[in-house]
Amino acid sequence: MFHGHVLIVPHEHHETLVDLPAALVEPLMSQARRMAGAVEDAMGADGTFVAMNNRVSQSVPHLHVHVVPRRRKDGLRGFFWPRQPYEGEEQMAAVAERIRAVLEAADAG
């Protein structure tokens, strides 16, 4: 989708948000909040789009949260996602490292 698009996936299998035990909702959303800040900082984005699908449009039947870096006029219209593929594994790894570095700096500070 956009470079820096991250998925947050619980270790335990739960198909949808409704299936997620109440005790795990806060930890999941806390991680989504943390990742939204890291992705925005690491990618120099104007903001983030945070979303999850429950069954409809859920391509994998396992709960996951999307954190997508956003920029003004980036082409996202509603839920029509313009694809911006990575040039290769190296570019993908470099983006992941930028996000990881922001998370590590936040944990250290």
pLDDT tens-digit series, residues 44-103: 999 999 999 888 877 889 999 999 999 998 887 766 666 778 999 999 999 999 999 999
Q: Where are the beta strands (DSSP E) in 21-83?
A: 47-51, 65-70
* Angle of the 22-43 helix axis to the 89-108 helix axis, nearest 10: 110
Decide: pTM greater than 0.85. no
Write out the two tokens for 83. 């694809």
Domains and CATH numbers, the chain: 6-108 (3.30.428.10)
Q: Is pLDDT at 29 greater than 70 in this prediction? A: yes
* pLDDT at position 57: 79
Question: Which residues on neighbouring strands pair with residue 28, listed in sequence order?
Answer: none
Pairing relation of β-strands 47-51 and 6-8? Answer: unpaired
Taking the mean position of all CA atoms in its chain, how far away is CA 95?
A: 13
